[in-house]
């Protein structure tokens, strides 16, 4: 056990910084093992007090500390493992420090580290303190000038802002000086140095300024940055049109690196990306990769206004930048690729990641009130639910007032580090509404459960709707207040036609009911026939809804609901009920046939697009089904879901073959939504065919794999072969490896695919893959490819009755925690679900958490999550 228990940090303890830094001049003398960092800070006491100066600093070898040019002696300052303390500094002064750091041996990938022979940095959330002594908190905003000196083999020397000077130095070295004119917190600082290729372009902004755009990548990879560049230009223009936001510097740079703990980072003017979210060409990237690249490039770019120009006062406000930026990103993606399909995909992610978080011990509000390590709070709740909350705000006050509120926010808080309260205040003023109740969405954890029941009175032509809400208790929050829940709702007749109605005397097709009490009753009038209620359209709130609708009403929706989200949702609800009944030992064979028939009809609907049909064809994920009943028996869920897959595959056999043949790509590959949709449907058809035990299916899958001319189809083929198993799969797997062994991003896919293999013999292979020469724990992409895909996307094998899956995950967490706590901690989540599992499994899982917590020298990151998972 650890000797001292880490203490939580609380929102209620927030105090403004004791000292501010207005300007800083940093000089980096870069050497892989002994980099020197000199910092000259203009420091000012904040307010009238006599507190000591306490700046953060970790793993820094201090060389000297000076005030106003005078080097301090022993006793004039103290440096411990976390802080530089100066007991009684003047009210305003220049602080000069010099430290030495070792980037080469920094495998935590925070602060200054090396990736692929290049220097790079990652400072969010608290990495800057591993570079120099600094008040490392987002409410200290400073003007940065950065001088970089390095050997000439580090050809490109990059930092934030504008390049102001370059030159030669003796001894084969050179330098560059960068100045960022915008105030920024230190977490947005970035530096990159190394040999890189660059893809260049330009964009003219709406006010007529020309911005240079540069994407830096590994030598030889520049062509693979073309799609990211295109996405960047579209994002910049979109933000001008949708939010009136223009880019503010003359240069925008992105650098791709292979070793990165997260997806990407919005450093001012110098975004740093995980190369998996930047590089793409048809041969090596799938359509899913293209789609994510587009989304993440946009996300990081949008941060320039929501995060950088206006940043967070403290890390409790993280959703202020993340939830809002995800919301903006989703708006962009909807405009690029279609609203309904994007909405369905976003909700799938929300349910899989956020709803499960909310049901487990790690449940927390969108704005948490305490944490130990902020790194642990880059969660689906902050990001995805944070975005949903903003979507609800927009639904509640309307699009015009929402845009006005955003304008006010940009106007009022530009250049500030602010809070969620200040943000919401802008919308209260813009809409003239009291949004006091709304704030509970930020403060309360858990997924609300809502119910809806409808009673039709034929004689009176009225429909009475009764809605209720309740949010289950979560860790530290035993009782919950009612929330204002916007429920978007319309009616259909039993032929699937839109049924108009009146609310408060006004005729309409659709309305938003605000469920803001434990129970709300609404009477709709002028309803001409017995309606099918289409509620929570577009998933208008992040809740779980139960209605009194019967299957036949769901079938009407699946065939015809004009709200495509609800059309898809009806199919998912029907499928989930069938799977859950079968898993409980009550198979409904008639229902299953009926479902297969309805899916067949939906596939033939000429009016709906391929991407949508691909989504319709996929059954609810086992992880989603696991959230619907407890105790969970993952094996039974898997078997029941497979049984329904088999029934669909048999019933739709002819249709699936027709799709598979008819949707082949003709001509040039295009990563656009139409091309991606066609490939998605074709691969979804193949995946379902794989459930069909007929012999020729393996041949079709192998043919698909062999004939593939792009990565989407190659992975589609390999995936189907994996589900079929046998020699054809083994052969294809070996071929794939041989062909792509020099392409790390493709080999990540090879590991990830095997991690997801649900077949009975897969566990041995998965555990053995850590001994494969290409496996590398130190590279987060490779680690996650195998370990996260297994623990998160392969429930039937992860929950092996022997407990071997849990033990494997714990082994990886413990080993990785020794050098990269941030990444180790992000693997803990799948162990949080032990309470909901059937008891035999739950006990095995819990034992692994206990084993982790008992490890000597465990990081705060893993300690926080593992103890919370246990308690």
Cα–Cα distance measured from residue 107 to residue 130, given in angstroms and rounded to the nearest whole number: 13
**Which C-beta is closer to ligand PHE: that of 111 or that of 677?**
111
Task: Please give the backbone phi and psi of residue 241, each rounded to the nearest 5 degrees, phi first.
Answer: -75, -45
Shortest Å distance, C-beta 322 to Zn ion? 5
Antiparallel, parallel or unpaired: β 311-312 and 417-418: parallel
Of ligand PHE, Zn ion, none, which one sits near residue 276, judging by CB under 5 to 8 A according to partner kind? none
Extended beta strands in 458-596, E state: 462-470, 485-492, 501-503, 506-508, 510-515, 519-524, 532-535, 544-547
Contact by Cβ (8 Å): 153, 195: yes
Contact by Cβ (8 Å): 252, 232: yes
Task: Name the active-site residue from 266, 300, 388, 569.
Answer: 300
**Which C-beta is closer to ligand PHE: that of 299 or that of 309?**
299
Of Zn ion, ligand PHE, none, which one sits near residue 565, judging by CB under 5 to 8 A according to partner kind? none
Structure tokens given for 758: 């649900």
Q: Single out the segment in contact with ligand PHE by CB under 6 A; choices: 299-307, 453-461, 731-739, 798-806.
A: 299-307
Shortest Å distance, C-beta 115 to ligand PHE? 14
Task: Please give the backbone phi and psi of residue 697, each rounded to the nearest 5 degrees, phi first.
Answer: -65, -40
Of ligand PHE, Zn ion, none, which one sits near residue 124, judging by CB under 5 to 8 A according to partner kind? ligand PHE
| From 29, 98, 139, 300, residue interacting with ligand PHE (rule: CB under 6 A) | 300
What is the chain's alpha carbon radius of gyration, rounded to the nearest angstrom?
Answer: 28
Q: Judge whether 597 counts as a catalytic residue.
A: no
Shortest Å distance, C-beta 270 to ligand PHE? 13
What residues form DSSP beta bridges with 520?
Answer: 467
**Which C-beta is closer to Zn ion: that of 322 or that of 713?**
322
Interaction between residue 322 and ligand PHE (CB under 6 A):
yes
Shortest Å distance, C-beta 585 to ligand PHE? 44
Contact by Cβ (8 Å): 156, 216: yes
One character per residue 244-273, x = contact with ligand PHE (rule: CB under 6 A): ------------------x-xxx-------
What residues form DSSP beta bridges with 452?
Answer: 467, 547
Shortest Å distance, C-beta 272 to ligand PHE? 8
**Which C-beta is closer to ligand PHE: that of 215 or that of 580?**
215
Closest CA to 609 of 346, 293, 339, 347: 339
Cα–Cα distance measured from residue 259 to residue 56, given in angstroms and rounded to the nearest whole number: 25
Closest CA to 421 of 403, 442, 401: 442
**Which C-beta is closer to Zn ion: that of 322 or that of 561?**
322
Shortest Å distance, C-beta 314 to ligand PHE? 15
Which residue's beta carbon is nearest to the bound ligand PHE? 262
**Which C-beta is closer to ligand PHE: that of 274 or that of 534?**
274
One character per residue 74-113, x = contact with ligand PHE (rule: CB under 6 A): ----------------------------------------
Query: Can you spell out the DSSP letters for 373-441?
Result: -GGGG--HIIIIIHHHHHHHHHHHH-HHHHHHHHHHHHHHHTT-EE-HHHHHHHHHHHHT---TGGGHH
Burial tier of 850 (Cβ tally within 10 Å: 0-12, 13-18, 19+)? exposed
One character per residue 297-336, x = contact with Zn ion (rule: CB under 5 A): -------------------------x--x-----------
**Which C-beta is closer to ligand PHE: that of 124 or that of 239?**
124
Of ligand PHE, Zn ion, none, which one sits near residue 65, judging by CB under 5 to 8 A according to partner kind? none
Of Zn ion, ligand PHE, none, which one sits near residue 178, judging by CB under 5 to 8 A according to partner kind? none
Shortest Å distance, C-beta 378 to ligand PHE? 5
One character per residue 118-157, x = contact with ligand PHE (rule: CB under 6 A): ----x-xx--------------------------------
Size of the site for Zn ion (CB under 5 A): 2
3-state secondary structure of 42: strand
Of ligand PHE, Zn ion, none, which one sits near residue 656, judging by CB under 5 to 8 A according to partner kind? none
Burial tier of 466 (Cβ tally within 10 Å: 0-12, 13-18, 19+)? middle
Dihedral angle sign, alpha carbons of residues 824, 262, 341, 646: negative
Antiparallel, parallel or unpaired: β 485-492 and 510-515: antiparallel
One character per residue 346-385, x = contact with ligand PHE (rule: CB under 6 A): --------------------------------x-------
**Which C-beta is closer to ligand PHE: that of 300 or that of 748?**
300
Antiparallel, parallel or unpaired: β 210-217 and 251-257: parallel
Q: Give catalytic residue positions.
A: 300
**Which parts of this chain interact with Zn ion (CB under 5 A)?**
322, 325
**Which parts of this chain interact with ligand PHE (CB under 6 A)?**
122, 124-125, 262, 264-266, 299-300, 303, 322, 378
């Amino acid at each position: 056990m650890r000797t001292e228990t880490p203490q939580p940090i609380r929102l209620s303890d927030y105090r403004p910084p004791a000292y501010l830094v207005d300007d800083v001049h940093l000089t980096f003398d870069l050497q892989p093992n002994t980099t020197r960092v000199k910092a000259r800070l203009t420091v000012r006491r904040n307010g009238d007090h006599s507190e000591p100066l306490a700046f953060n600093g970790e793993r820094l070898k201090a060389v000297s500390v000076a005030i106003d040019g005078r080097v301090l002696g022993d006793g004039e300052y103290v440096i411990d493992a976390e802080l530089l303390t100066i007991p009684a500094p003047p009210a305003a002064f220049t602080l000069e420090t010099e430290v030495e750091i070792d980037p080469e041996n920094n495998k935590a990938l925070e602060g200054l580290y090396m990736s692929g022979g290049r220097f790079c940095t990652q400072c969010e959330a608290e990495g800057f303190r591993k570079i120099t002594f600094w008040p490392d908190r987002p409410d200290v905003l400073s003007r940065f000038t950065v001088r970089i000196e390095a050997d000439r083999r580090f050809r490109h020397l990059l930092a934030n802002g504008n390049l102001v000077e370059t030159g030669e130095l003796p001894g084969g070295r050179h330098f560059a000086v960068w100045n960022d004119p915008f105030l920024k917190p230190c977490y947005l600082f970035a530096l990159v140095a190394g040999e890189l290729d660059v893809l260049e372009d330009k964009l003219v902004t709406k006010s007529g300024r020309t911005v240079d755009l540069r994407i830096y990548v590994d030598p030889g990879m520049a062509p693979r940055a073309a799609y990211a560049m295109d996405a960047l230009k579209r994002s910049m223009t979109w933000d001008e049109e949708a939010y009136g936001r223009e880019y503010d510097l003359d240069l925008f740079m992105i650098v791709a690196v292979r070793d990165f703990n997260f997806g990407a980072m919005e450093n001012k003017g110098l975004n740093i990306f995980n190369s998996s979210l930047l590089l793409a060409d048809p041969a090596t990237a799938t359509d899913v990769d293209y789609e994510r690249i587009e989304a993440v490039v946009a996300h990081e770019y949008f941060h320039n206004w929501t995060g950088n120009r206006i940043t967070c006062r403290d890390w409790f406000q993280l959703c202020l930048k993340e939830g809002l930026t995800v919301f903006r990103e989703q708006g962009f993606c909807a405009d690029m690729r279609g609203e309904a399909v994007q909405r369905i995909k976003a909700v799938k992610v929300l349910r899989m990641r956020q709803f499960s978080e909310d049901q487990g011990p790690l449940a927390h509000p969108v704005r948490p009130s305490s944490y130990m390590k902020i790194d642990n709070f880059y969660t689906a709740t902050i990001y995805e639910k944070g975005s949903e909350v903003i979507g609800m705000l927009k639904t509640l006050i309307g699009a015009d007032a929402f845009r006005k509120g955003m304008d006010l926010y940009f106007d009022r808080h530009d250049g500030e580090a602010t809070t969620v309260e200040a943000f919401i205040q802008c919308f209260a003023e813009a809409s003239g509404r009291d949004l006091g109740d709304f704030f509970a969405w930020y403060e309360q954890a858990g997924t609300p459960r809502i119910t809806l029941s409808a009673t039709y009175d034929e004689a009176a032509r009225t429909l009475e709707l009764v809605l209720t809400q309740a949010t289950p208790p979560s860790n530290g929050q035993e009782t919950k207040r009612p929330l204002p829940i916007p429920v978007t709702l319309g009616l259909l007749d039993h032929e699937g036609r839109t049924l108009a109605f009146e609310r408060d005397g006004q005729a309409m097709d659709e309305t938003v009911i605000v469920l803001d009490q434990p129970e709300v009753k609404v009477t709709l009038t002028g309803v001409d026939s017995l309606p099918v209620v289409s509620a929570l359209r577009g998933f208008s709130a992040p809740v779980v809804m139960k209605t009194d609708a019967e299957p036949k009403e769901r079938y009407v929706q699946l065939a015809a609901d004009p709200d495509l989200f609800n059309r898809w949702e009806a199919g998912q609800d029907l499928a989930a009920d069938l799977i859950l009944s079968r898993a409980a030992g009550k198979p409904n064979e008639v229902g299953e046939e009926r479902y297969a028939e309805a899916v067949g009809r939906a596939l033939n609907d000429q009016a709906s697009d391929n991407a949508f049909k691909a989504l319709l064809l996929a059954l609810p994920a086992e992880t989603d089904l696991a959230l619907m009943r407890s105790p969970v028996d993952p094996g039974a869920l898997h078997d029941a879901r497979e049984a329904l897959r088999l029934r669909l595959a048999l019933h739709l056999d002819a249709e699936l073959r027709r799709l598979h043949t008819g949707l082949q790509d003709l001509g040039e590959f295009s990563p656009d939504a139409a091309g991606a949709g066609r490939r998605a449907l074709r691969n979804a058809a193949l995946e379902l065919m794989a459930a069909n035990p007929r012999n020729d299916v393996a041949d079709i899958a192998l043919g698909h794999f062999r004939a593939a001319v792009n990565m989407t189809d190659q992975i589609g083929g390999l995936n189907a072969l994996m589900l079929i198993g046998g020699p054809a799969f083994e052969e294809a797997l070996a071929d794939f490896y041989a062909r792509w062994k020099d392409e790390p991003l493709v080999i990540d896919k090879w590991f990830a695919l095997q991690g997801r293999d649900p077949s009975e013999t897969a566990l041995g292979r998965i555990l053995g893959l850590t001994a494969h020469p290409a496996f590398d724990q130190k590279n987060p992409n490779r680690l996650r490819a195998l370990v996260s895909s297994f623990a998160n996307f392969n429930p039937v094998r992860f929950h092996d009755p022997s407990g071997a899956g849990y033990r494997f995950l714990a082994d990886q967490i413990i080993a990785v925690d020794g050098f990269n706590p941030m990444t180790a901690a992000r693997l803990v989540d799948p162990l949080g679900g032990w309470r909901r599992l059937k008891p035999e499994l739950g006990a095995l899982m819990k034992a692994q958490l206990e084993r982790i917590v008992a490890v000597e020298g465990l990081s705060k990151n893993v300690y926080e999550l593992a103890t919370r998972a246990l308690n």
